[in-house]
Amino acid sequence: MRRVVMLVDNAVEGDSRVQKAARSAADAGWHVTLIGCAHVDAERRWRLGDAEVRVLPLAAARATPPATASAVLSSPRGGASASGGGAGSRDGSGLRGVSGLRARLVARGGLPLHAARLARRPVEHAEVRFWRARLRDGAWRRLEPGLWDYERVAGPVVDDLRPDLIHAHDFRMLGVAARAVDRARARAAGRDVKLVWDAHEWLPGARPRRDNARWLPAHLGYVREYVGHADAVVTVSDTLADLLVRDHDLPERPTVILNAPIAATTETSAPDLRKRCGLPPDTPLLVYSGAMAVQRGVDTVVEALPLLPGVHLALVVADPAAAYVRQVVARADRHGVGDRVHVLPYVPHRQLVAFLATADIGLIPLHHWPNHEIALITKFFEYAHARLPIVVSDVRTMAETVRATGQGEVFRARDAADLARAVRAVLADPARYRAAYEGEDSPLPGWTWEAQAERLDALYRRLLTPIR
């Protein structure tokens, strides 16, 4: 049995794409170990079907002895690594003094905090220019040295597992996988470990995950340094596949693996969303399921509720007590619609489609943002399999799909009045929109994880089948 190691930069439990990929690959006969790296207290282990899951604590990276770290970080194709240094040096010698002076002035009250934040930007941009001029794509070693933490934690584990194929999810684990492949090939002449990179998002269009000028250029350089190591690339949409070909001059178009839900579930029952909200069958119910952030547009929905008398909203979120969720609820109270907003926690992803099915409309109120324009996101497919009409903002790919299939209505992003118009149109004739999911022209058979798993399995087999 050929061994597949999957790598991801999170705790696995909230990542349905990663879970589905690991479980379906194991079901297809691969020996799968899924390794997550996260801020957990101790290593966690469990099984997803026949796949083994191990979540490693990132805190262990800080305790790695220098000699061990040095050995782990060595790479035959490290590019600028020799001149770029390791994780221990975070500032250029010509820039360290400027940063230190700014910190001392703030500490002594000589520079107000707000002014310090403004002053930080020129220094950060100077750091980026300095290290990119010196190390080119290898500048991430100085600008974002925390990337080494994933290497220190996961690298030795991957080496011990001796995989035949490494599947790196998202961008942070690409370098970890590439260096593991290099080490495996160097240790055993003729051993050809394959690398699949799963690009979950378009990095140039991503919102930086930290508030500094270094984050995006560092990660862009990191991906450019290692993308050439991949034997194949997979991604989440046709639009993103085209962008990756353009950005990285890929020799082969990425295989598109949609973030589709599992059609056949082993769950015999699932909770009922409407009952959890305490609502009778005839009360109109909108649902938003997924991550909560300003750019996701839930504020627009709250502002539309006063224009929709009697309509209720369910928010299905990871943490109902999170600060931003509380802000949205407070906004609903200020608009006088707080009694019509219901906040509920996630259910297991294998139950989600059945859970959502008792709503009347699935909402995707995204703001315009590059990555929002190019994807058919997970909740889009979850709503579709729940047979929900979809009301989506005019972000390009999803708006075009909804217009083409007739499964919902499109409204202008951030326009509460237009969102209310779209909701009223669907509630006036819901059967018209649900009909898009029925009959020979239904898109649903192709929008299943089972169909995507077949593509992934075929890719693995092609990569690992010897050429005769």
Instruction: Identify the pLDDT of residue 156.
Output: 98
Q: Which long-range contacts (CB under 8 A, 24 or more apart) does 114-120 make?
A: 120/212
- Residue-level pLDDT at 85: 38
Taking CA atoms, 71 is separated from 67, 68, 156, 176, in Å, by 6, 5, 10, 14
Residue 331 pLDDT > 90, yes or no?
Answer: yes
pLDDT at 419 over 90: yes
pLDDT of res. 61: 63
Instruction: Tell me the mean pLDDT in the region 375-380.
Output: 92
Q: Assess whether 419 and 400 both reside in one domain.
A: yes
Average pLDDT over every residue of 435-445: 95
| pLDDT class of 223 with cuts at 50, 70, 90 | very high
DSSP string, 320-388: TTSHHHHHHHHHHHHTT-GGGEEEEE---TTTHHHHHTTSSEEEE-PPP-HHHHS---HHHHHHHHTT-
Name the token pair of 316.
């299905």
29, part of any domain: yes
Please give the angle made by the CA atoms of 119, 122 and 123, to the nearest 5 degrees: 85
Mean pLDDT computed over 309-329: 97
Is residue 464 included in any domain, yes or no?
Answer: no
The verdict on 66 and 150 lying in the same domain is yes
Same domain for 354 and 221?
A: no
Cα separations (Å) of 366 from 239, 377, 424? 18, 11, 19
Length of the chain measured in residues:
468
Cβ–Cβ under 8 Å, residues 203 and 223: yes
**Percentage of residues of the chain with pLDDT beyond 70:** 85
The Cα-based distances of 202 to 205, 223, 239, 372 in angstroms read 6, 11, 10, 10
Answer whether residue 467 is part of any domain: no
pLDDT value of position 211 = 78
Residue 193 shares a structural domain with residue 327: no
Q: Could you tell me the pLDDT band of residue 333, with boundaries at 50, 70 and 90?
A: very high
C-alpha span between 175 and 227 (Å, rounded): 8
Residue 319 has pLDDT above 90, yes or no: yes
Give the amino acid at 187.
R
Residue 465 lies in a domain: no
Same domain, yes or no: 333 and 190:
no
Residues 409 and 434 in one domain: yes
pLDDT number for residue 269: 77
pLDDT at position 78: 40
Q: Quick check: is 202 in a domain?
A: yes
Q: Confidence band (pLDDT; 50, 70, 90) for 63?
A: low
> 306 with 215, same domain?
no
Whether 176 and 288 map to the same domain: the answer is no
Mean pLDDT on 136-152? 97
Q: What is the pLDDT of residue 394?
A: 98
452 — pLDDT class (breaks 50, 70, 90): very high
Mean pLDDT lowest for which of 59-68, 106-115, 148-157, 296-305?
A: 106-115
**What is the CATH number for 221?**
3.40.50.2000
Mean pLDDT value across the chain: 88
Residue 1 confidence class, pLDDT cut points 50, 70, 90: confident
CA atoms within 13 A on the CB side of 238: 4
Residues 352-381 have a mean pLDDT of 94
Please list, in sequence order, all residues whose beta carbon lies within 8 angstroms of the beta carbon of residue 295, skipping any fewer than 6 positions away.
207, 366, 367, 369, 372
Higher pLDDT, 351 or 226: 226
447 pLDDT more than 90 = yes
Question: Is residue 84 in some structural domain?
Answer: no
Highest-confidence range of 6-15, 55-64, 188-197, by mean pLDDT? 6-15
Computed on alpha carbons and rounded to an integer, the radius of gyration of the chain in Å comes to: 24
Q: How far apart are CA 69 and CA 254, in angstroms?
A: 33
For the residues 72-87, what does the mean pLDDT come to?
39
> Residues of the chain with pLDDT > 90: what percent?
77
Stretch 312-329: mean pLDDT: 97
- pLDDT at residue 73, rounded to an integer: 45
- Per-residue pLDDT at 311: 98
Residue 455 included in any domain = no
- Quick one: pLDDT band at residue 90, thresholds 50, 70, 90? very low
Confirm whether 440 is domain-assigned.
Answer: yes
Residues 172 and 228 in one domain: yes
Q: Is the pLDDT of residue 453 over 70?
A: yes
Helices (H), 28-92: 66-73, 81-84
Per-residue pLDDT, 101: 44
DSSP 14: T
For residues 344 and 317, give the distance between their C-alpha atoms in angstroms, rounded to a whole number.
6
CA-to-CA distance for 88 and 48, rounded, in angstroms? Answer: 37
d(CA 180, CA 174): 10
Q: How far, in Å, CA of 209 to CA of 290, rounded?
A: 18
Starting from the edge strand earliest in sequence, which strands make up the sheet with 390-393, in order?
Answer: 341-345, 312-317, 285-289, 361-364, 390-393, 408-411
Q: Give the model's pLDDT for residue 60.
A: 66
User: pLDDT tens, 23-60?
Assistant: 999 999 999 999 999 999 999 999 999 999 999 999 86
Measured in whole angstroms, how far is the alpha carbon of residue 453 from the centre of its chain? 18
User: What's the CA gap between 96 and 101, in Å, rounded?
Assistant: 9
Q: Residue 137: which of 9, 7, 228, 234 has the closest Cα? A: 228
pLDDT of residue 120: 61
Predicted model pTM: 0.81
| The total number of structural domains that make up the chain | 3
Q: Do 160 and 241 share a domain, yes or no?
A: yes
State whether 316 and 431 are in the same domain: yes
Residue that finishes a domain, picked among 256, 282, 311: 256
pLDDT value of position 30:
98
Distance, in Å, from the CA atom of 123 to the CA atom of 143, rounded to the nearest integer, reads: 12
Residue 106 shares a structural domain with residue 205: no
Residues 268-285: b if buried by 16+ CB within 10 A, e if exposed: eebeebbebbebeeeebb
Q: Which domain does 115 fall in, by range?
A: 89-141
The confidence band for 321, taking pLDDT boundaries of 50, 70 and 90, is: very high
Q: Which helix (H) or strand (E) holds 57?
A: strand 51-57
